[in-house]
Copies of this chain bind each other. A is one copy, B any other.
Amino acid sequence: MSAPVAEGVEAANPVERFDRTPATSVRQHPERASYDRAVVHAILDESLFCQVGFAVDGKPFVIPCIHARIGSTLYLHGGLASRLMQVVASGAEICVSATIVDGLVLARSWFAHSFNYRSVVVFGTGRIVIDLVEKARALRAVVEHVAPGRSREARPPSPKEMAATAVVAIEITSGSAKVRRGLPRDADSDYELPVWAGELPLQLTPLPPVSDPRMPAGLDLPDSVRDYRRPGQA
């Protein structure tokens, strides 16, 4: 997917790394940081939902939200009257965070306990999406983000439903990822302790689907449900 050509002084070519800024520089465990756009994008794509942060008169808000990414644009949707939609549409600065926990890191000491995780924090400013072609494309991306293939199985929105849904776009201007993997890193003197240590991997896993009893008889489970997994998941 090609990035839109940036206007103004920014280079028009795809930029593969985010510039480090005071806001995005990872200070705690900088060895876990990545400023690689591909790493940031992959974590955003695998994360089922995100947390959207904004400030109103200096008061912070964090709201869980479903997102979809196209290029370096994040799309969110919601009710027209929601605070989140209104603030994002106003062009205020937005912070979006998404986290995938891959496991518990169980060390010999409380102190060395950790998580294995992949997280991103990105910043950008929003705009409301008015163009109907972009809006439909964004809503398709949201459905596909949640359940790949589902947009072809279910009924697309009517003009009335389109009008009842607000879509906002956030251009990601800066951001970073943070990734921890592997076993505990205990203090040298702790390796003799008789304490079980290791990783307990965790994964968001589908359980058996629950069919709506009001369906017409004889419908098979669709591909989007039978083979459900997050992008990047084995």
Interface residue stretch chosen among A2-10, A33-41, A115-123: A115-123
- Cβ of A232 under 8 Å from chain B: no
The answer to whether residues A109 and B154 also contact, given A196-B222, A200-B209, A205-B202 and a CB cut-off of 8 A, is yes
A95 touches which one: B62, B81, B153 (CB < 8 A)?
A: B62
Q: How far is the CA of A79 from the CA of B96 in the complex (A)?
A: 22
A58 to B101, CA, bound (A): 29
Tallying the copies of this chain within the complex gives: 2
Q: Tell me the dominant secondary structure on chain A's binding face.
A: mixed
A157 touches B109 (CB 8 A): yes
CB within 8 Å for A59 and B204 given contacts A109-B161, A157-B109, A210-B199: no
Q: Across the interface, do A106 and B225 meet the contact criterion of CB distance under 8 Å?
A: yes
Contact A62 B62 (CB under 8 A): yes
How far, in angstroms, from A164 to B112 measured CA to CA in the complex? 12
In the complex, given contacts A110-B161, A204-B204, what are 7 additional A-B residue pairs having Cβ atoms less than 8 angstroms apart? A55-B58, A59-B93, A110-B139, A199-B212, A200-B225, A202-B204, A203-B207
What residues of chain A have their CB less than 8 Å away from a CB belonging to chain B?
Answer: 23, 27-28, 48-49, 51-55, 58-64, 66, 78-79, 81-83, 93-97, 99, 101, 103-104, 106-111, 113, 115, 117, 119, 121, 139-140, 143, 146-147, 150-151, 153-158, 161, 164-165, 183-184, 190-212, 214-216, 219-222, 224-225, 228
